[in-house]
Amino acid sequence: MTLHEADVLVVGAGPVGLTTAMDLQARGARVVIAEIRRYAEPPSVKCNHVAARTMERFRTLGVAQKLRHAGLPADYPNDVVFRTSVCGAELTRIPIPGRAERYTSKEGPDTGGRRRSRRTASTRSTSNRSCWNTPRACRA
Ligand SMILES: Cc1cc2nc3c(=O)[nH]c(=O)nc-3n(C[C@H](O)[C@H](O)[C@H](O)COP(=O)(O)OP(=O)(O)OC[C@H]3O[C@@H](n4cnc5c(N)ncnc54)[C@H](O)[C@@H]3O)c2cc1C
């Protein structure tokens, strides 16, 4: 589509521009996005958490699951580790399971509506440590 055929020109393909463009397109508008980055040049990474309200918008636009799967692998733990230095001795660790182990509800809109018993949930969270370990060079 050329610029002259478009109803709306969105400048900037960041999260705001892309979400606006998807929203407008879902409402029937013809949208063109202009981005200063070169073709296929990735944006600088600056997001580790997406807020619940933002996920509601992504769910409405039908991209919530795609977005979830674009993040870290489901079994990748998010542990917080305190060390004497980056590769120094580990002092303590706050275990934060990967998202596969973190869901407390299996009945929400993004969970596929599968039920999981409490027993299964607690057994998995203690016994199923993922294969994503701390890099060898950083082990105490
Ligand atoms: C280190 C860091 C961590 C962050 N972590 C989180 C987080 O975990 N969760 C969260 O929700 N938010 C986080 N944020 C904030 C979030 O990244 C911003 O709120 C968000 O990127 C803003 O989106 P935007 O589309 O307005 O702007 P941007 O993401 O800055 O996108 C603007 C786009 O416009 C393009 N552009 C600029 N000028 C022009 C031009 N003249 N013509 C065409 N294109 C142009 C740029 O190349 C860019 O692609 C973080 C920010 C930083 C810096």
Residue-wise pLDDT for 26-63, tens only, equals 999 999 999 999 998 988 888 878 898 999 999 999 99
Ligand 1 atom 5: the closest Cα is on which residue? 47
Spell out a b/e string for 11-40, using b for 16 or more CB atoms within 10 Å of the CB, else e.
eeeeeebbbbbbebeeeeeebbeeeeeeee
What is the domain extent for residue 6?
A: 1-71
Ligand 1 atom 7: the closest Cα is on which residue? 47
Q: 129 with 76, same domain?
A: yes
Q: 87 with 129, same domain?
A: yes
- With a cut of 70, say whether residue 94 has pLDDT above it: yes
Ligand 1 mean position, distance from CA 30 (Å): 23
Domain boundary among 44, 71, 98: 71
Q: 79 with 115, same domain?
A: yes
Ligand 1 mean position, distance from CA 115 (Å): 37
Q: 56 with 113, same domain?
A: no
* Section 3-21 average pLDDT: 94
Q: 66 with 76, same domain?
A: no
Residue-wise pLDDT for 101-115, tens only, equals 876 666 776 666 554
Ligand 1: residues with CB < 6 A are 11-17, 34-37, 43, 46-51
Ligand 1 atom 3: the closest Cα is on which residue? 46
Counting from 1 in the atom list of ligand 1, the atom nearest the Cα of 12 is 34
pTM above the 0.85 mark? no
Q: 11 with 45, same domain?
A: yes
Structure tokens at 126: 């203690």
Q: 87 with 42, same domain?
A: no
Q: 79 with 135, same domain?
A: yes
- Tell which one of 10, 23, 46 to mutate to probe ligand 1, the residue whose CB is within 8 A of the most ligand atoms: 46
Residue 80 pairs with which residues in a beta bridge?
Answer: 94
Q: 101 with 40, same domain?
A: no
Ligand 1 mean position, distance from CA 122 (Å): 38
Domain boundary among 53, 71, 89: 71
Q: 22 with 62, same domain?
A: yes
How many domains does the chain contain in total?
2
Q: 129 with 113, same domain?
A: yes
CA 130/CA 29 separation, integer angstroms? 45
Q: 89 with 67, same domain?
A: no
Domain boundary among 71, 103, 125: 71
Residue in the structure block whose two tokens are 């699951």: 65
Ligand 1 mean position, distance from CA 13 (Å): 9
CA 121 to each of CA 72, 74, 80, 81, 91: distance values in angstroms, whole numbers, following the listed order: 21, 15, 22, 24, 28
